[in-house]
Amino acid sequence: MFDDDDFVFLPQNAIELELDVFSHHLDLALAAGAGLVPAPDPRKKKVYLLDEDGKELEITFTDRPENRAILAVKESLKDTRQFSSFMWRFWALMDLIREDKLRPRCPRPTDDDNDDDEFIIPARVLDVARRMRLNKRGAFNVSNFRRLVARSNL
pLDDT number for residue 120: 79
Q: What is the pTM of this model?
A: 0.78
CB 154 within 8 A of CB 20: no
**Residue 68 in 3-state DSSP?**
helix
H/E element, 34: none
Backbone angles phi, psi at 57, to 5 degrees: -115, 130
Domain ranges of the chain: 11-151
Q: Which residues of the chain have pLDDT under 50?
A: 1-7, 111, 113
> If we measure between CA atoms, which residue out of 79, 111, 106, 82 comes closest to residue 95?
106
**H-helix segments, 3-154:** 19-33, 65-76, 80-98, 123-129, 142-151
Alpha-carbon Rg of the chain, whole angstroms? 16
Residues 6+ apart with CB under 8 A from 89: 14, 17, 22, 129, 130, 134
Q: What is the pLDDT of residues 42-84, one digit of tens each?
A: 898 877 877 778 888 888 889 999 899 989 999 999 998 899 9
CA end-to-end span of the chain: 43
CA distances from 74 to 81, 87, 123 (A): 11, 9, 23
CA–centroid distance for 53 within its chain: 24
**H-helix segments, 34-79:** 65-76
Q: How many residues does the chain have?
A: 154
> Tell me, what amino acid is at 57?
L
